[in-house]
Amino acid sequence: MSEKRQLNRLTLDLMLRLTDYMRSNYITSGLDDVDFAKKATEALGFPVEKSNVATAREALSLPSNYKLKSQETALNRATKRAEVKNAGGNVQILDELHAINKLLVQISKRMDTYFGSK
């Protein structure tokens, strides 16, 4: 028989400690929710699950590091394609630059959400 997974519900005090820790460390860590939960467990001294990190991240309006990494990877791929197509004509290069610009705008919006606009 399959075993039901127990949810790790944090008390308000523990959730506040987690959100304070995340506010200072989540974005700069570059870790996804699973790996950040492991890091937070070690740092805070109480069990933190992926779901706790995801809930706190959403409450703090922090962008997902996984999504930011995905966008960065897409940006790198688009840049490489633009370099390869360089000999293929300016229209293709402009299309690739447009795609790169769209990704940069998305990343910038996500970073503004966390760091605030200047």
Closest CA to 61 of 23, 93, 98: 23
Give a yes or no: residue 42 inside a domain. yes
Whether residue 44 lies inside any domain: the answer is yes
Return d(Cα 90, Cα 38) in angstroms, integer: 47
Q: Is residue 18 one of the residues assigned to a domain?
A: yes
Number of domains the chain is built from: 2
Whether residue 41 lies inside any domain: the answer is yes
Please indicate, yes or no, if residue 4 is contained in any of the structural domains. Answer: no
Same-domain check for residues 55 and 79: no
- Closest C-alpha among 29, 64, 25 to residue 44: 25
101 and 83 within one domain: yes
Q: Same domain, yes or no, for 19 and 37?
A: yes
Question: In angstroms, rounded to a whole number, what is the distance separating the alpha carbons of residues 91 and 3?
Answer: 56
Q: Print the domain residue range for 86.
A: 66-115
88 vs 82: CA distance, rounded Å: 9
The answer to whether residue 5 sits within a structural domain is no
Q: Cα separation of 14 and 49, whole Å?
A: 12
Mean pLDDT of the chain, nearest integer: 80
Q: What is the pLDDT of residue 35?
A: 92
| 88 shares its domain with 111 | yes
Confidence (pLDDT) at 1: 45
Q: Is the pLDDT of residue 27 over 70?
A: yes
In this prediction the pTM is 0.56
